[in-house]
């Protein structure tokens, strides 16, 4: 097998404002491989809605039936194939930690996100629909139409949903949103993911192997991230950021990407674009002026990065939020 880098999925899911991708996929009978070995920076939940599939995460195999799900942590290699080539379908919710908490250095992220990213806290990977895993306790009435997976829950009394089935239930509500138009449902998406994360976290466990060089890296990066946010309007070079640690530029980039899940320059560009969104919404400043105020000396480059990041031009964005 080649280096892990070969298998990285380069695509980023969702938008800067809502870094969540929803994918609904169907495969006809005769399909063998659903997707080949790959990994990505984001978290992923996948819920099988039809068929049987063998899902592999870093060499760990899980056989999924309809209603079963899996959680894939950031940076883990995974692949999937059908059982006996039967037709299958699933939906996947792929999201950045930023949808839960934008500031990776906050107390919330320090407790609930960073330990998961660093492998110090392990979340369950397999989310079975089998009722033998159920915990007997009262739950709010489940609306099967709303969750879109009514057939998977129909056999279970409403008082016997397991926590794993609750996770699938909340994810299924996201799964009912339009695949390519999540922005109008951003409140629903964020709230359901927080409910899911709460369940997953409270049924996870500490991993005592390999205590934490990463934690040191997070703390060392904090002043760098603050500097970027305080000075985003000015020219910032990779060399001056690396010197703050201090590290070589190559080592700094590796540590930054390992912890922040993007390169230093990608992070800076993203932050600049987010600030430009604020200016577009809250001021009447010209687009060229906003570009200069957010660290872009070239308006054409600003327009290009904005379109790639947000999915529309600055002018279209301003018009869309003017109501």
Which pairs with CB-CB distance under 8 Å and at least 24 residues apart come from 112-116?
112/197, 112/201, 114/214, 114/215, 114/218, 115/206, 116/73, 116/74, 116/201, 116/204
The residues with which 91 forms a beta bridge, in sequence order, are 24, 47
Q: What is the pLDDT along the chain (323 residues), one digit of tens a residue?
A: 444 454 566 667 788 889 999 999 999 999 888 887 888 889 999 999 999 999 999 888 999 999 999 999 998 888 899 998 889 999 999 999 999 998 888 999 999 999 998 888 999 999 998 744 433 333 334 343 444 445 444 444 455 689 999 999 999 999 999 998 899 999 999 999 999 999 999 999 998 664 444 455 677 888 999 999 999 999 999 999 999 988 888 888 888 887 777 889 989 998 999 899 999 989 999 999 999 999 999 999 999 999 887 778 999 888 876 54
Predicted local confidence at residue 216, as pLDDT: 53
The residue whose two tokens read 């999915």 is 311
With 0-12 CB in 10 A as exposed, 13-18 as middle and 19+ as buried, what is 24? middle
CA distances from 28 to 50, 87, 97 (A): 11, 5, 33
For the chain, how long is the longest CA-to-CA vector? 62
Predicted local confidence at residue 10, as pLDDT: 62
Fold held by 4-205:
Jelly Rolls (2.60.120)
Predicted local confidence at residue 75, as pLDDT: 83
Region(s) of the chain under CATH 2.60.120.10: 4-205
Fold held by 213-320:
Arc Repressor Mutant, subunit A (1.10.10)
CA distances from 317 to 29, 87, 306, 312, 322 (A): 43, 41, 10, 6, 9
The residue whose two tokens read 């299924």 is 172
Q: Cα 158 vs. chain centroid, distance in angstroms?
A: 30
Region(s) of the chain under CATH 1.10.10.60: 213-320
Q: Cα 109 vs. chain centroid, distance in angstroms?
A: 14
Tokens describing residue 319: 């018009």
């Amino acid at each position: 097998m080649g280096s892990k880098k070969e298998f990285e999925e380069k695509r980023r899911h969702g938008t800067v404002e809502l870094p969540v991708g929803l994918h609904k996929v169907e495969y006809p009978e005769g399909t063998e491989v659903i997707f080949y070995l790959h990994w990505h920076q984001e978290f992923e939940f996948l819920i099988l809605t039809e068929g049987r599939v063998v899902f592999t995460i870093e060499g760990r195999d899980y056989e999924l039936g309809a209603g079963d799900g899996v959680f894939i942590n950031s940076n883990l290699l995974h692949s999937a194939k059908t059982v006996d080539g039967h037709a299958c379908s699933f939906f996947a919710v792929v999201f950045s930690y930023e949808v839960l908490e934008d500031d990776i250095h906050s107390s919330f992220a320090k407790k609930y996100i960073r330990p998961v990213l660093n492998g110090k806290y392990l979340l369950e990977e397999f989310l079975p629909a089998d009722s033998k895993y159920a915990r007997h306790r009262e739950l709010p009435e489940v609306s099967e139409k709303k969750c879109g997976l009514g057939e998977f829950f129909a056999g279970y009394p409403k008082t016997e949903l397991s926590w794993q089935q609750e996770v699938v239930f909340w994810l299924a509500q996201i799964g009912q949103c339009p695949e390519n138009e999540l922005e109008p449902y951003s409140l629903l998406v964020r709230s359901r993911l927080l409910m899911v994360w709460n369940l997953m976290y409270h049924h996870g466990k500490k991993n005592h192997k390999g205590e934490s060089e990463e934690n040191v890296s997070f703390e060392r990066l904090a002043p760098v991230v603050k500097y970027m946010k305080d000075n985003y309007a000015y020219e910032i070079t990779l060399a001056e950021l690396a010197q703050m640690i201090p590290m070589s530029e190559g080592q700094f980039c590796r540590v930054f990407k390992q912890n922040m899940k993007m390169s230093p320059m990608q992070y800076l560009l993203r932050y600049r674009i987010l600030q430009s969104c604020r200016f577009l919404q809250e001021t009447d400043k010209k687009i060229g002026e906003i570009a200069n105020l957010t660290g872009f000396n070239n308006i054409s480059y600003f327009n290009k990065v904005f379109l790639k990041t947000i999915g529309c031009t600055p002018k279209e964005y301003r018009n869309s939020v003017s109501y």
